[in-house]
Amino acid sequence: MSGYVLAIDQGTTSTRAIVFDGKMKVAGVGQKEFTQHYPKPGWVEHDPEEIWSSVLVTVRKAIEAAGITAKDIAALGITNQRETVVVWDRETGKPIHNAIVWQDRRTASYCEKLKRQDLEKLFTRRTGLLLDPYFSGTKLSWLLSNVRGARARASKGELCFGTIDTFLIWRLTGGKNFVTDATNASRTLMYNIGANEWDDELLDILRVPSTMLPEVKDCAADFGVTDPSLFDAEIPILGVAGDQQAATIGQACFERGMMKSTYGTGCFALLNTGADMVRSKNRLLTTIAYRLNGETTYALEGSIFIAGAAVQWLRDGLRAIQRASDSGELAAKADPLQEVYLVPAFTGLGAPYWDPDARGAIFGLTRNSGPEEIVRAALEAVCYQSRDLLDAMHKDWRSGSGQNTVLRVDGGMVASDWTMQRLADLLDAPVDRPTILETTALGAAWLAGSRAGVWPDREGFAKAWARDRRFEPNMDDKTRNTKLKGWKNAVKRTLTAG
């Protein structure tokens, strides 16, 4: 059988399809951006039909670029933006509303209402998550309450709910398969990560009928086959994982204590805690890292909502740079005597602060401040937030603390040497950049390829991981501590409770 594996990486701002060959090297790529909709301040939506269209276009481009046909592909893996919600008609497959994106904050008041009812501890104990608009459950509840007739139709079994993976599998299989995987399910506020099943009590609180929910499978499993009319051949769908879990797998973080951080639209750090479901005391999330052969591996996760999105803002909003790749070069020219801080709370602050009402702010501007200082502040903000997550993880899981922390990084921002060096400096820890930066897609591809028997097993895949460069910290303690103190002060002044 051919060793070609196709990965669909459905992200927040674009969709990519990548064909990997039998040696796990990129053979063909297709990518397409799609529209971001902002109906109200703090609201973010996507058109599910545009996402679906982007998947078809990019898959066909990737197959063509690889110089193969769909018949040469042994398996398909899917990875996706997590927590984004789609509800569609079970008969027609048509969405009843735009997808509500993970960044969306419209359910902040509903989350506060649930907290006032003293329900957050229950949700956290069952799901490992906090009551925040970030997660899928309150978004789904909003759709059922605000789309005309939706709740009644859902009660009759006429509507399906899914994160993006579920919606794509439904479409790819011609409506034959209504499924998700354990990692995506674990981000919904409705899935009991200890029992590995949908939680009826939480569903009742959120007023969500269980008939709307997909079947939950392992990350490497039989998710169906694509309709042959789409790509001129059936392709088995054998791997699914939410984007951050897929990146963890793609970085071969299979051992307890291994840690990765992905710098895409947002930034997400995961620490593998093995079979231990570590309960955070520092406002981190307990989540499923992956589930293979019925065995669940857990992780501590810290979520930063704005990372690469801040660079997009510099480019498209401020027009301070023409290309995202210009940011590191401009930051390097900033005046070292000016300490400018950007707190990028454009859609609230994530871990470990969890303040959905906070909004972005810049501190330390002087008459001499210019684009260089603001660009540097945007890049440093990602590094400071990463330090916040690392500190919280060390407090929660002391066996993973100390000077032995090595952070494996991936995502678009890690191509910037300046940013990665500053990250190592502010973390006071080595940062490893892999040779293959498409680790999210690679993780999904490995799940599918290993399931199909054409790619190596877990141990073989881990041995194949290769480092492009290690960034060692070289900032002195006094400078680092001064900068970290300034960051803490900036965040304190930004928090709505502060």
Q: Which residues sit in the known binding site for ADP?
A: 12, 16, 265, 308, 412
Question: Which parts are annotated binding residues for glycerol?
Answer: 82-83, 134, 243-244
Question: Which parts are annotated binding residues for sn-glycerol 3-phosphate?
Answer: 12, 82-83, 134, 243
Which residues does 230 contact at the CB level (< 8 Å), separation at least 6? 56, 59, 172
CA pair distance 85, 102, nearest whole angstrom: 8
User: Strands, E, within 112-247: which ranges?
Assistant: 159-162, 179-181, 191-192, 197-198, 215-217, 237-242
Q: Is 79 helix (H, G, I), strand (E, B) or coil?
A: strand
Question: Which parts are annotated binding residues?
Answer: 12-14, 16, 82-83, 134, 243-244, 265, 308, 312, 412
* Residue 86: its H or E element: strand 86-89
* Residue 405, CA distances (Å) to 259, 431, 449, 471 in order: 8, 9, 30, 13
Q: Which residues are paired to 298 by β-bridges? A: 274, 288
CA pair distance 280, 168, nearest whole angstrom: 33
CA pair distance 489, 477, nearest whole angstrom: 18
Q: Is 270 helix (H, G, I), strand (E, B) or coil?
A: strand
Tell me how crowded residue 403 is: count the other CB atoms within 10 A of its CB. Answer: 7
CA pair distance 6, 8, nearest whole angstrom: 7
Which residues does 83 contact at the CB level (< 8 Å), separation at least 6? 102, 134, 135, 136, 139, 163, 187, 188
The dihedral through the CA atoms of 442, 445, 447, 452 has a sign that is: negative
Q: Find where tokens 């502010």 sit.
A: 426
Which of 421, 340, 348 lies closest to 377 in space, CA to CA? 340
With helix as H, strand as E and coil as C, how does 292-355 read?
Answer: ECCEEEEEEEEEECCCHHHHHHHHHHCCCCCCHHHHHHHHCCCCCCCCCEEECCECEECCCCCE
CA pair distance 240, 179, nearest whole angstrom: 10
Tokens (6 digits) for 124: 């956290």
The dihedral through the CA atoms of 374, 378, 379, 380 has a sign that is: positive
Question: Which parts are annotated binding residues for ATP?
Answer: 12-14, 265, 308, 312, 412
Phi, psi of 394 (to 5 degrees): -65, -35
DSSP line for 377-395? HHHHHHHHHHHHHHHHHHH
